[in-house]
Structure 1
Amino acid sequence: MSAEEFDSIAFTRRHVVRLMDGREYSIEAVDFERREVKYYSESDFPHWVKLKRIAAVL
């Protein structure tokens, strides 16, 4: 995903992030300045993911 594509998305809590490894998670928060999204893993641990690890936002 490019920086321009990331910036153009109107994020909501209904969006899902697909990582480069194929896993998908619900987006909990977005940091537009750093171009990162936050999701919670199965063990309820928060993760911030950088743009380079994001394959798609669904």
Structure 2
Amino acid sequence: MLSFVITALVIALLAAILGFTGIAKGIAAIAKFVFYIFLVVFLITLIIGLVSGF
């Protein structure tokens, strides 16, 4: 999931450099959304790991 965020970020940066601002905004928004999902899943997994004694 995190690799998708990095790939989308690179595509957004390339689109912004080339002047495709609409595409860059859309892809950056998707990347931000997926990153937040990744962050929530990571925190939940971390808490479950700490509670279970791992």
TM tier, smaller: under 0.3
- TM-score for the superposition, normalised by structure 1: 0.23
TM-score, with structure 2 as normaliser: 0.24
Q: Could you say which structure has the higher strand fraction?
A: 1
Higher CA-based Rg = 2
Of Structure 1 and Structure 2, which has the larger fraction of its residues in helix? Answer: 2
